[in-house]
């Protein structure tokens, strides 16, 4: 671990090459105008008087636009006594209509999508704790040996990994243009310091090290306090992307000012057609992502970000797409489904085929057919885009509403993302302790100063029944603990601004 950190600090060839890919990919953002038009900004101000801003991201901004001062309409001149009041009211109506912009549709489905993605992250990491993600993927792992449950957990984790973090970046970026539009550069960056940087640092120096120490204690190895970003790599990269957006926005404003154009001129980037989606899926999210993995020596991490399918290049593309979706009304007023060139059922069937093919190529590539990793990454890139479209459509059509329960879950989602590793690791340690007490003749053991247990569990399917039971029990327990706990912490004084 220490040697890997030193390599990152010194900067090896792989990091240099990967950095060049970042520069190339971020040019996608630069060539796109990521600002709201004045008409869109006015419409958003009107809509914000009746609802809070939905961020739909893990790092949700809970401040409400409704607290903004409402500018009164210009007073109408007094009607002379000789004029009929009915006629005056008739003349007043068009003035009122002309001054009031139409309200923008409420995108409640982004809140429910955020809740779903947070739930999937939690389940994904529970699968990692039971051997679904490989060695070094979690703080305490049991069942790291070949068994039927491992194939199921591995398939589940792989299909999640291919899309869920890029989709998080998309939803996060969707509200970046409006947030930037309403603030100065300093205010924009200060908001992200409170909402993103501070929680990331708290997790880096408390949550993640405590999880590491729990794993070390249960494995019977030397306990070491080591600050790590862990799962909060997402927040650190979100800061980088928002900082880049802010710098690009300032540059565009300066360029427009020099050319004598409006600083926030309207944009007209249409929703990407099938050919463009395939291009980004195969080339950027697929082939370039594979090139990054090769450049970094087969995976690992790049400045805290895990490098695998659905990773760096996908995150860049989806963040850029999120800003464009907001600026160009890709999600409203028409449904996303109306912009697809095919039936939604065809799109869903395509996702199933892509997911199955991706898993087939992955398992075949691991059987000493490494050349199949290339088509696997290509398919994974297209799957990343198509799966995201299917989920966006599903939540937009079926769950585009908000009630008290959904509101509470949305408020808690960010806290769940920050705290869930602590709950999962603690619950895994409890499962390990209970199992060893019940099976003292064959307890789970750890070797070679590792937090990974390769001891085969007892029971049917080479211990798969126990692993499945553990996964299901932890799924119930961790969700019942994480969501109420995160909601309660957010109610404490001083936590609402950060969580």
Cis before 409? omega within 30 = no
Mean local confidence (pLDDT), 417-432: 98
Greater confidence (469 vs 449) lies with 469
Which pLDDT value is given to residue 411? 95
- SS3 of residue 306 by DSSP: strand
For 79, 303, 420, the CA distances from 232, given in Å and listed in that order, are 62, 12, 11
pLDDT at 96 exceeding the cut of 50 = no
- Look at the block and give the residue holding tokens 């609402």: 496
pLDDT at 102 exceeding the cut of 70 = no
pLDDT at 220 exceeding the cut of 60 = yes
Residue 108, H or E segment: none
Which pLDDT value is given to residue 318? 98
- Look at the block and give the residue holding tokens 């290509």: 378
Cα–Cα distance, 256 to 141 (Å, whole number):
54
Cα–Cα distance, 295 to 303 (Å, whole number):
14
Q: What is the pLDDT of residues 21-78, one digit of tens each?
A: 443 444 433 433 334 444 444 444 444 444 444 443 455 443 433 333 333 333 433 4
Mean local confidence (pLDDT), 239-267: 73
| Residue 113: both structure tokens together | 């999508």
Which pLDDT value is given to residue 275? 94
User: Do the Cβ atoms of 277 and 385 come closer than 8 Å?
Assistant: yes
User: Do the Cβ atoms of 443 and 436 come closer than 8 Å?
Assistant: yes
pTM beyond 0.85, yes or no: no
- Smallest Cα–Cα separation from 305: which of 15, 60, 16? 15
Which pLDDT value is given to residue 71? 37
Percent of the chain clearing pLDDT 70 (strictly above): 76
The torsion of the CA quartet 173, 175, 181, 187, rounded to 10 degrees, works out to: -80
């Amino acid at each position: 671990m220490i040697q890997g950190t030193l390599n990152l600090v010194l900067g090896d060839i792989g990091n240099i090459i990967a950095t060049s890919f970042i520069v190339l990919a971020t040019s996608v953002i630069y060539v796109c105008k990521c600002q709201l038009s004045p008409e869109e900004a006015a419409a958003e101000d009107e809509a914000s008087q009746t609802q809070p801003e939905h961020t739909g991201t893990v790092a949700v901004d809970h401040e409400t636009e409704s607290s903004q001062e409402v500018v009164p309409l210009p007073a109408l001149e007094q009607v002379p006594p000789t004029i009929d009041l009915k006629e005056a009211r008739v003349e007043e109506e068009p003035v009122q209509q002309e001054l009031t912009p139409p309200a923008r549709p409420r995108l409640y489905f982004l809140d429910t999508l955020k809740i779903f993605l947070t739930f999937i992250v939690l389940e994904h990491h529970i699968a990692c704790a039971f051997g679904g993600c490989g060695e070094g993927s979690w703080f305490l792992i049991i069942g790291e040996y070949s068994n039927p449950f491992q194939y199921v957990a591995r398939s589940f984790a792989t299909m999640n990994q291919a899309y869920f973090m890029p989709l998080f970046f998309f939803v996060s970026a969707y509200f970046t243009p409006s947030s930037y539009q309403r603030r100065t550069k300093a205010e924009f960056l200060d908001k992200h310091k409170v909402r993103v940087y501070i929680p990331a640092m708290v997790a880096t120096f408390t949550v993640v090290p405590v999880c590491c120490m729990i794993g070390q204690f249960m494995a019977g190895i030397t306990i070491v306090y080591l600050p790590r970003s862990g799962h909060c790599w997402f927040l650190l990269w979100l800061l980088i992307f928002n900082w880049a957006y802010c710098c690009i926005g300032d540059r565009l404003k300066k360029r427009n000012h020099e050319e004598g154009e409006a600083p926030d001129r309207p944009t007209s980037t249409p929703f990407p057609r099938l050919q463009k989606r395939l291009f980004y899926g195969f080339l950027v999210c697929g082939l370039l992502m594979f090139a990054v993995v090769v450049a970094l020596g087969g995976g690992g991490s790049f400045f805290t970000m895990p490098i695998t399918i659905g990773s760096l290049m996908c995150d860049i593309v989806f963040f850029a797409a999120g800003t464009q979706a907001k600026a160009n009304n890709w999600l409203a007023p028409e449904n996303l489904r109306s912009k697809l060139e095919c039936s939604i059922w065809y799109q869903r069937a395509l996702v199933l085929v892509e997911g199955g093919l991706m898993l087939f190529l992955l398992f075949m590539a691991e059987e000493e057919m490494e050349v199949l990793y290339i088509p696997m990454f290509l398919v994974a890139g297209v799957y990343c885009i198509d799966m995201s479209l299917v989920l966006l459509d599903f939540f937009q059509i079926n769950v585009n509403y908000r009630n008290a329960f959904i509101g509470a879950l949305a408020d808690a989602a960010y806290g769940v993302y920050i705290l869930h590793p602590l709950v999962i690791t603690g619950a895994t340690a409890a499962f390990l302790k209970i199992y060893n007490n019940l099976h003292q003749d064959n307890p789970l053991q750890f070797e070679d100063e590792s937090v990974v247990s390769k001891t085969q569990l007892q029971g049917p399917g080479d211990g798969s029944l126990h692993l499945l039971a553990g996964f299901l029990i932890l799924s119930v327990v961790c969700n019942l603990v994480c969501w109420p706990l995160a909601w309660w912490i957010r109610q404490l004084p001083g936590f609402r601004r950060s969580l």
